[in-house]
């Protein structure tokens, strides 16, 4: 476990357990509202058992619950804060890549809910930070002024058919935005609400093994 204040986020970093003949992506794990740096560690290990894991804790508190950026209401984001926090997170990932010696070009974000939304924002504002993303229960964070060039990015969107928080139109809005930006986007619909289930994990594991390895 690491908690290096120089990196400006409470976080965990777990080095790769890979064999030297095969290089695995580093996974940037981004928790949902009320989560912590521990929340997605097990899911990260299930999706890619040999990958390095970098898991920061969100710095914004909502009624004591950590988040990665402020919101004004359910599904209504504080866009100014979101953009500021996205830049802050991008700097953290860049600094961590130097400290822990991992390659940003082989880094994949795995985000859930609030974490998935800031991962989508990273793609839109700081695409050089990650090579791709697995987004569980994400929605479009904002409409960018200019479309980024995501022609070398790969994204998996895993959405719940009975999600009470993220509507079908919200996830399809993100899908269309990423596609217009040139990303290779895969959509998976799950028989699920606003939670990660076993099918999410198996789909993500299969996608990652084909797209990124």
176-204 in b/e form (b: 16+ CB < 10 A) is: ebbeebebebbebebebebebeeebbebb
Q: Would you name the residues annotated as active-site residues?
A: 113, 163, 194
Which band of pLDDT confidence, cut at 50, 70 and 90, is reported for residue 7?
Answer: confident
How far, in Å, CA of 172 to CA of 91, rounded?
A: 29
Q: If pLDDT is split at 50, 70 and 90, which confidence band does 211 have?
A: confident
Q: How high is the mean pLDDT of the chain? A: 93
Q: How many CB atoms lie within 10 A of CB 150?
A: 21
CB of 192 closer than 8 Å to CB of 160:
yes
Distance CA 108, CA 211 (A): 11
The residue ranking higher by pLDDT, 195 or 20, is 195
Does position 21 have pLDDT exceeding 80, yes or no?
no
5-211, what's its fold?
Rossmann fold (3.40.50)
57-85: pLDDT as tens digits = 999 999 999 999 999 988 889 999 999 99
Domain residue ranges of the chain, discontinuous segments joined by +: 5-211
Tens digit of each residue's pLDDT (9 = 90 or more) over 122-151: 999 999 999 999 999 999 999 999 999 999
Task: Answer for the pair 101, 171: CB distance below 8 angstroms, yes or no.
Answer: no
Contact 44, 201 (CB under 8 A): no
Percent helix, strand and coil across the chain, each to the nearest 5: 35, 25, 40
pLDDT digits (tens, 9 = 90+) for 22-31: 678 999 999 9
């Amino acid at each position: 476990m690491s908690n290096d204040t120089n990196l400006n986020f409470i976080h965990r970093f777990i080095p790769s357990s890979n064999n030297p003949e095969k290089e695995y992506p580093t996974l940037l794990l981004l928790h949902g509202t009320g989560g912590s740096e521990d929340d997605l560690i097990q899911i990260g290990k299930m999706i890619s058992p040999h990958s390095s894991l970098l898991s920061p804790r969100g710095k914004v508190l909502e009624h004591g619950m950590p988040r990665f950026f402020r919101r004004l209401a359910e599904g209504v984001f504080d866009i100014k804060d979101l953009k500021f926090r996205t830049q802050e997170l991008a700097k953290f990932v860049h600094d961590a890549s130097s400290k822990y010696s991992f390659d940003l070009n082989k880094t994949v974000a795995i985000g859930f809910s609030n974490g998935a939304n800031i991962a989508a924002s990273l793609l839109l504002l700081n695409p050089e930070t990650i090579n791709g993303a697995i987004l569980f229960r994400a929605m479009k964070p904002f409409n960018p002024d200019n479309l980024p060039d995501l022609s070398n990015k790969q994204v998996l969107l895993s959405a719940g058919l009975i999600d009470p928080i993220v509507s079908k139109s919200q996830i399809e809005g993100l899908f269309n935005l990423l596609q217009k930006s040139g990303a290779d986007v895969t959509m998976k619909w799950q028989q699920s609400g606003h939670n990660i289930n076993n099918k999410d994990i198996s789909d993500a594991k299969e996608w990652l093994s084909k797209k990124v390895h």
